[in-house]
Amino acid sequence: MTYHSDDGLHFLGFRTDMRGAKQVVYDNAGRQRVILNVDAPDTLLPQIDRAMRAAVTRRNVFTALLSELSSHQIGFDYSE
């Protein structure tokens, strides 16, 4: 799952790292990159997708992403 904002400045992507951890990646035109570890079983992938699709349409994509994940009761923490 990958999404870009209409202005092309914001990117959201979903990936699984080498250890199998699920992550959401946010990038703001190369100026800011944040990786969130998502604590969710595969059954929550549709909710993660909905959260990402909703967030990428908002003015403040990153804040909206955090809000959407929380509203879907998807746990996350910041990757090191």
- pLDDT tens string 33-44: 999 999 877 778
Query: Which pTM does this prediction carry?
Result: 0.90
The pLDDT of 51-80, averaged and rounded, is 94
Q: What is the mean pLDDT of the chain?
A: 93
H runs (alpha helix) in the chain: 45-55, 61-71
At residue 37, what is the residue type? Answer: N
Q: How confident is the model at residue 20 (pLDDT cuts 50, 70, 90)?
A: confident
User: Alpha-carbon distance 12 to 68, whole Å?
Assistant: 13
